[in-house]
Amino acid sequence: MPADVDISDLAEAAKALLLRLAAQPVLWTVGALTVLYVLHSIYIYTRLRQFPGPFLAGWTRLPLIKWHVGGKAHLELQRISETYGPLARIAPSVLVTSDPELLRRMTAARSRYKRSSWYMAFRFIPDRDNIVSVRDNDAHAQLKMKLAPGYSGKDTVGVEEKIDDNIRALISLFKEKYLSGPGETNLFDLAQKMQYFTADTISDISFGKPIGFLANDADMYDYLKTSADSFPFLIVLSLFPWLMHVMALGPIKKYMPSAKDSLGMGRIMGLAEEVVEKRYPPKVNDVHQDMLGSFIRHGLTKDEAKSESLLQLLAGSETTATTLRMILFHVYVNPRILFKLREELRQARPGSPITHAEASKLPYLQAVIKEGLRIYPSITGVMLKDVPPEGDTYQGKFIPGGTAIGYSVMGLFMNKAIWGEDAATFRPERFLEGTKEELQERDVTIDGAFGWGRWKCLGRGIALMELNKLVVEIIRTFDLSVVYPTHPFKNYNAGIQVQWDMWMRATLTEQKF
């Protein structure tokens, strides 16, 4: 300290500064909040310091937000899993895992983990839960019991026949409008047609009749476009779940999709509500054997039925459509795989349309479908689960309560330790090669495309039936070629894969299967 500076002068200066601050409460408040924020950030960072990850992610959610808004979160989380290990830090209180054993333990029936507030974004009606958004484990179990008979087909009639009807409608559409002949090319967007098929199929199964995408060869009510446009917004909501409460407020709610709208998601909400309204109050002699009828018989309230019906249309079309697109794309750009599939069909000689039971017995077809689920999973959101209040332990490291753990689906499905050195390659044979234990582990792991345990997707059986049947009917009927091989399709990932401009050329195959 310089000799000419008096300590008493410094004390007087500090006292004067304190008095000035005391006279300005705003400065005191800002200062106090800043100190509290810094101390809280240090505390949160310290709680998970034993888990590696990008340095900035330990202090702020900004990297996580950037990855999601940029549509690259699934790839970034894969990179983090490969760089930092099977349990890594991606935000101050958030970890991500690619360890199938940990994921199965978290989702087991008796697990004390529960869904985090991340799931609130999937309340498609802001103030009303559905089977995806409900967070309480007991409430989820009770709702699942009411829905399961309808989804499983045990309480419905003609599910497979409805899928067959919509397959015939799609095949007819291709034959009537999109076949190419010598010297001519009638282009069509396979991505779009697959979603027409899945949207009509799930509405047919749910309500007893399709919406009409295939019959009109059009995006009815601009539904598919507006739903795809909404996915980036949904993923932002999942990272800021408190926004759901804001959206439920009157001034904001009036700008949200409404059943009174004539287009978009609001119109589909209106269609779902119209169907539900006609079924309530339930009639003693109600003979509807569709999924909605099953829900009603098992005690769903009218509001619950509206919420679940909307979820079926939103979740049951885009996800299955993505898997169909990517299976067909990879099959047709790999002649070897197409030949093996057709040879399996030639030897099996199944009926047309092939039955689900017949398809389930074709080992190479099943391997192709599993590989399609693996190479391009339709849902890549982190699906955060809250660690129990008492905490948990992973590989000797304590995970404190208040932490959320997410799922790196690409980290899991591209893990070379499980899938081999060629994990990035579409090669169905990996599901047919190896020891019994290795094959069983791969089968259990690929089921993660539908979730495990308590939160396994109820629509899994219907989705697999659609995949089994439509893939066979397309490859036995058409030869498809990619029109623009250097840029075969466009894709945006907002936690759900969205593809478009998958332009194809179709001719009738001359072979018989």
Find tokens 């790196």 and name the residue. 408
Annotated binding site for heme: 457
Q: Is 216:327 a contact under the CB 8 Å cutoff?
A: no
Q: How far apart are CA 423 and CA 513, in angstroms?
A: 31
Q: Is 87:95 a contact under the CB 8 Å cutoff?
A: yes
Q: Is 456:278 a contact under the CB 8 Å cutoff?
A: no
3-state helix, strand, coil in the chain (%, to 5): 60, 10, 35
CA-based Rg of the chain, rounded to a whole angstrom?
27
Annotated binding site: 457
Nearest to 99 by CA among 108, 85, 89, 86: 86
- Torsion of the alpha carbons at 339, 342, 348 and 350, rounded to the nearest 10: 170
Tokens coding 275: 């169907």
**50-74: buried (b, 16+ CB within 10 Å) or exposed (e) per residue?**
ebebbeebbeeeebbbebbeebebb
Q: How far apart are CA 206 and CA 234, in angstroms?
A: 24
Q: How far apart are CA 120 and CA 149, in angstroms?
A: 25
